[in-house]
Amino acid sequence: MKKTLFLNIILLFLGTKVFAQTPKDCDCFIQGIVQDGVTKQPIVGAVVLIKELNKGVSTDAKGFYRIANICQGKYTVIGRIVGYEEKTYTINLEHGAEQNIKLSETELHLANIDIKAQKIENLTQNKTSLENAALDQTRGQSLGEALKQISGVTTLQTGSSIAKPVIHGMHSNRVLIMNNGVRQEGQQWGSEHAPEIDPFVAKKITVLKGAAGVRYGSDAIAGVIMLEPDALPDSTVLKGEINSVYFTNGRQTVNSGIIEGGFINSNSKKASKIPYAIGYRVQGTYKRGGDISTPNYRLANTGIEEVNYSLSANYKRKNWASDVFFSQFNTQIAVFSGSHIGNVSDLIEAIKRGSPLPIYTPETFTYNIGRPYQDVLHNLLKIKNTVKNRSGVLSLTLGRQYDFRKEIDILRGDKNLAQLFKLNTYTGELLFEHKPLLKVLSGSVGINSLYQENLTTGTLTEPRSSTVLIPNFQNFTSGVFIIERIVRKQWEIEGGFRYDFRHLNVYRIPRGEQNTINNQRNNQNFTGTVGVNFRPNARWNFLTNISTAWRAATVNELYSDGVHHGAASFERGNENLNPEKALNTSFTVNYVSQIFEAEFHLYNNFINNYIFLSPTGRPALTIRGAFPEFLYTQTKALFQGFDLTTTLQVIKKISLNSKLSYLKAQDLSHVQPLIQIPANRIENTLRFDHKKTTISLTNLYVAKQNRVPTRIIFTDIPNSEIVFNEYGGDFAPPPSAYTLWNAAISRQFAIKKTSSLNVSMTVSNLLNTTYRDYLNRFRYYADEIGRNIVFRAKYSF
Amino acid sequence: MLQKSFKNPLVLSIILGLALFACKKESIDTEDENELITSVKLNFTTNGSTQTFAYSDPDGDGGKTPTVSTISLKPNTTYTMTIEILDESKTPVNNITNEVANEKDEHLFIYTPTPSSLLTYTYGDKDSRNFNVGLTGSVRTGAAGTGQLKVQLRHQPPVNGTPSKNGSTSPGSDDVNIDFNVTIQ
């Protein structure tokens, strides 16, 4: 999996000659050494920049830098090193009245900050991370909800508790999630199946937008989401963190804790003994929430309960390291009772009614989780070993995931089980990162493999039932890849390619038949990437990248055949689907100056054989009534758009952050827009920072999605058979545009030297606005969540 | 030294890896399978003789087209009508009528003739809260003519312990929603 190189920049903040008579002291300086944490080699030519002053210097031959003549104040220090991730730190060079001039310089202003920057694996693609304060602001939310902070990322929702991340209009199997270096394998094909991940495991969540097939797996057509914990400690100090969150809406409480520490055996006594270090971490989360409320009514059966924990440990020697990680995710999510839809006439009745019946909007609040509900268990075990030698770094990562999903429906006679899915996945990756060849060419080669078995009925080869949503299957994929890059002073060129093979073995009983059928499919393909990063000076950075990715049809796309409850649709798979292939071109510009920061990301994602579910307009008659029929089909699709993020320092202490996302997704073959594409949106945040207090006010405007399909695309269906054609096969027109206001206040308190307390209060949907979102499956019959006041406390020690 | 340390973790990985892979054969054997209704039978009795009309879809949703018999009744006659709901894909046949009878408080049959002059349905049974059920009732046919009879079974389960059945169609969802052609002659 990912090989992380830690880069330590040691910043020394030294304020000298603090004269009492000088009102503003401009004799402070910042200096330090930049070095690669693994090789301990100084890094020459790294740029260290003070954003507010637009003062920047490069490190010298010893990795040393010094920026002098700085006035006291609060500054943002940016470290930029080619080949490493950019790092931003906020420092306070403020002299409080209590500071004593007689203190020696070092006592007064010396500060050591270890900047842990990860070596970037993909340099020429757009990446955005949530960490530190930005991540803290999302604590308690689901992964999907948290990622909405990143422009270009939206969610596909089922009510307010089930949220799937959508990157540039695509989701589910097109978005790869790397959980701690292992690709997440759950039942991600389902639109109401949220990622089985506790975001508290991660200290940093990164979204890589665009096709990233070469490094992470050929199916990363829309992008990759990476969740990374902090590196395990290699000191004996016991550290920890406690997070508590309370949401007024749904009276949800979330508590999460981390404890970490280590042992060190240094070689001071016996020279012959090799020093080693052991680090460990224990983490756990408990979440419980009850029925949530929209501005006008409460929604029955919308509670949630979650119990998650993870354990990790590592063992490090001079040239090798072993890591073990285990996590378990357990959730029970109630599904709104009013969403249980029998057939299309039920759905149409619910749409006509406008709001749910009183029985589904009770006055009394409860934490009870009744039927229908989802019960999901996900285990991940990961073992990683890393060895360094003269020629590079070799690592082997093995993972096992077990995903057990139960969907419990409302059945007669207290019958229990509706749909069960058991998925076992084994992953392995062997990666070799070689040292620079000819001093300019660095890169890595790797092999990854995956084997999985899915069970929904009987045993693997002997299914018992034909009424399952997806059949039993075995899936084997394996790929080899190479990525190389040339780094020059201002230029960086990256290229790579990958070959993948996939074997799918399906055991199923076709509907109405008795005997098991075995279907086998093989797919293979190449993917490639090429990109350039140009950094003419400290202010500007340009990235451009062309990448391909491909994805073989998944079992639900191939073999679905039945009613999808809640969606009130009859979905049929198509055995003849070809793999879809994406060609993604992107261009990103970054600009940083004293008062203005901007990132503009432009993309063009062309997908041949794009697989999607399209309405036929025909009713499928069942004993439960008529259901509109949907077929999995393929087309040429084009996703074009841009994300723009800017931050303007209006005046000292006040800044304005704006995020704009625009996306146009077109079905090229049928010359009409694609269905279920997130609407364009703009978000503006006005922020006031004073010492350790931050106050912000956010306005989000989401436009109406006017680009929706207008007609049925299947030309072989006679017009006389088409019944549901009013909204191009949809059941209702897209909801209107909406505006939401959010407000937040947070403050940090230092307690002793090593511990701190952060508290914040956030109000989302401040004005209790009634609205519906196009990408919420409940939009047909219920409003979105109303005002929600969130209290957060984080105690670090 | 380097060689040795190179091997160690790899060997360790392989051993641990094998440990990961050693697992038992799994199965899913649910006693309560996804509920399926394949047949709805209407029994009309008058003067001791019974006629049965069925809607039958033995392979479940999709697949082969269901077979539906046309209800043929005499004009201006009163019939006793009972309904049966079956899963005929199982052996022995799963009689869902009994389950509905056991849970009358959360089920409601609705019979809707089109045109409404075709016949009149009168409920013959009540649940514990005195709401109609419709497992048994009577049908009074009108004058000779043709039309349709819609048969619906509303499943109206309680919401968090509160009964949702209130005598009206609205709560819950359709478990059965079918149309029979009717000829009165």
The complex scores an ipTM of: 0.83
Which residue in B13, B64, B160 is closest to A300 by CB distance?
A: B160
How far does B114 lie from chain A, in Å, by closest CA?
A: 17
How do residues A365-419 score in pLDDT, each as one tens digit? 999 998 889 999 999 999 999 998 888 899 999 999 999 999 888 777 666 666 8
Query: What pLDDT score does A9 carry?
Result: 46
Contacts of A622 in chain B (CB under 8 A): 57, 60-62
What is the DSSP pairing of strand B71-73 with strand B173-184?
parallel
Interface of A with B in 261-300 (CB under 8 A): 300
For residue A81, name the pLDDT band (cuts at 50, 70, 90): low
Asked whether the beta carbons of residue A412 and residue B164 sit closer than 8 angstroms, the reply is: no
Query: What pLDDT score does B151 carry?
Result: 96
Asked whether the beta carbons of residue A387 and residue B171 sit closer than 8 angstroms, the reply is: no
Which residue in B5, B58, B174 is closest to A387 by CB distance?
A: B5
Q: Which residue of A has its CA nearest to B12?
A: A385
How far does A573 lie from chain B, in Å, by closest CA?
A: 12
The answer to whether the peptide bond before residue B113 is cis (omega within 30 degrees of 0) is no
Chain B CB within 8 Å of residue A595 CB: no
Q: Which residue of B has its CA nearest to A509?
A: B59
Phi, psi of A346 (to 5 degrees): -60, -45
Query: What pLDDT score does A413 carry?
Result: 66
Q: Which residue of B3, B14, B29, B34 is the best one to mutate when testing the A interface, meaning the one whose CB has the most A CBs within 10 A?
A: B34
> What percentage of chain A carries pLDDT values higher than 90?
56
Phi, psi of A412 (to 5 degrees): -70, 155
Query: What pLDDT score does B92 carry?
Result: 85
Query: Is residue B90 included in any domain, yes or no?
Result: yes
Query: Is residue B131 included in any domain, yes or no?
Result: yes
Across chain A, mean pLDDT equals 85
Phi, psi of A736 (to 5 degrees): -70, 165
**CA–CA separation, A221 and A581 (whole Å):** 8
Query: Is residue B20 included in any domain, yes or no?
Result: no
The answer to whether the peptide bond before residue B92 is cis (omega within 30 degrees of 0) is yes
Contacts of A413 in chain B (CB under 8 A): 99, 102-103
How do residues A366-377 score in pLDDT, each as one tens digit? 999 988 899 999
Contacts of A432 in chain B (CB under 8 A): none
Integer CA distances (angstroms), B71 to A147, A498, B82, in order:
58, 65, 14
The total domain count for chain B is: 1
For residue A16, name the pLDDT band (cuts at 50, 70, 90): very low
**CA–CA separation, A698 and A151 (whole Å):** 14
**CA–CA separation, A48 and A213 (whole Å):** 32
Query: What pLDDT score does A91 carry?
Result: 66
How far does B47 lie from chain A, in Å, by closest CA?
A: 31
For residue A481, name the pLDDT band (cuts at 50, 70, 90): very high
Output the pTM of the full model. 0.86
Query: Is residue B8 included in any domain, yes or no?
Result: no
What is the DSSP pairing of strand A491-508 with strand A517-534?
antiparallel
How far does A201 lie from chain B, in Å, by closest CA?
A: 22
Query: Residue range B121-139: average pLDDT?
Result: 96
For residue A269, name the pLDDT band (cuts at 50, 70, 90): low
Chain A CB within 8 Å of residue B84 CB: no
Query: What pLDDT score does A24 carry?
Result: 47
Contacts of B103 in chain A (CB under 8 A): 412-413
Query: Is residue B80 included in any domain, yes or no?
Result: yes
Chain A CB within 8 Å of residue B22 CB: no
The domain in which residue B153 lies consists of 30-184
How do residues A203-245 score in pLDDT, each as one tens digit? 999 999 988 888 888 899 999 999 999 888 877 889 999 999 9
Phi, psi of B134 (to 5 degrees): 100, 15
Chain B CB within 8 Å of residue A416 CB: yes
First to last CA, chain A: 30
Chain B CB within 8 Å of residue A351 CB: no
Q: Which residue of B has its CA nearest to A338?
A: B172
How far does B39 lie from chain A, in Å, by closest CA?
A: 8
Query: Is residue B147 included in any domain, yes or no?
Result: yes
Asked whether the beta carbons of residue B177 and residue A345 sit closer than 8 angstroms, the reply is: yes
CA neighbor of A83 nearest in space, from A529, A435, A486, A496 = A486
Could you tell me the CATH number of the domain that includes residue B96? 2.70.50
Asked whether the beta carbons of residue B30 and residue A512 sit closer than 8 angstroms, the reply is: no
How do residues A42-67 score in pLDDT, each as one tens digit? 666 777 777 777 777 777 776 677 77
CA neighbor of A154 nearest in space, from A143, A141, A168 = A168
Give yes or no for a contact between A568 and A627, defined as CB atoms under 8 angstroms apart: yes
**CA–CA separation, A451 and A461 (whole Å):** 16
Asked whether the beta carbons of residue B177 and residue A625 sit closer than 8 angstroms, the reply is: yes
Chain B CB within 8 Å of residue A320 CB: yes
**pLDDT over 90 at A697, yes or no:** yes
For residue A95, name the pLDDT band (cuts at 50, 70, 90): very low
How do residues B134-152 score in pLDDT, each as one tens digit? 999 999 999 999 999 999 9
Query: Residue range B119-134: average pLDDT?
Result: 95
Q: What is the radius of gyration, based on Cα positions, of chain B? A: 27
Which of left, alpha, beta for A752 (phi over 0: left; psi -120 to 50: alpha)?
A: left
**pLDDT over 90 at A523, yes or no:** yes
How far does A410 lie from chain B, in Å, by closest CA?
A: 8
Asked whether the beta carbons of residue A343 and residue B177 sit closer than 8 angstroms, the reply is: yes
Integer CA distances (angstroms), A551 to A73, A174, A212, A525, in order:
52, 8, 12, 9
A59 or A326, which is more confident: A326
Query: Is residue B78 included in any domain, yes or no?
Result: yes
Q: Which residue of B14, B30, B100 is the best one to mutate when testing the A interface, meaning the one whose CB has the most A CBs within 10 A?
A: B30
Chain A CB within 8 Å of residue B8 CB: yes
**CA–CA separation, A703 and A643 (whole Å):** 15
Query: Is residue B25 included in any domain, yes or no?
Result: no
Q: Where are the alpha helices (DSSP H) in A211-343?
A: 213-216
For residue B14, name the pLDDT band (cuts at 50, 70, 90): low
Contacts of B164 in chain A (CB under 8 A): 359
Query: What pLDDT score does A271 carry?
Result: 45
Chain B CB within 8 Å of residue A623 CB: yes
Interface of B with A in 112-131 (CB under 8 A): none
A49 or A796, which is more confident: A796
Chain A CB within 8 Å of residue B102 CB: yes
Query: What pLDDT score does A327 carry?
Result: 96
Chain centre distance of CA A101: 48
Asked whether the beta carbons of residue B27 and residue A359 sit closer than 8 angstroms, the reply is: no
How far does B70 lie from chain A, in Å, by closest CA?
A: 16
Query: Residue range A58-86: average pLDDT?
Result: 69
Chain A CB within 8 Å of residue B70 CB: no
Phi, psi of A466 (to 5 degrees): -100, 0
Convert A258-278 to b/e letters by CB count within 10 Å (16 or more is b): bebbbeeeeeeeeeeeeebbb
For residue A103, name the pLDDT band (cuts at 50, 70, 90): very low
* DSSP state letter for B135: S
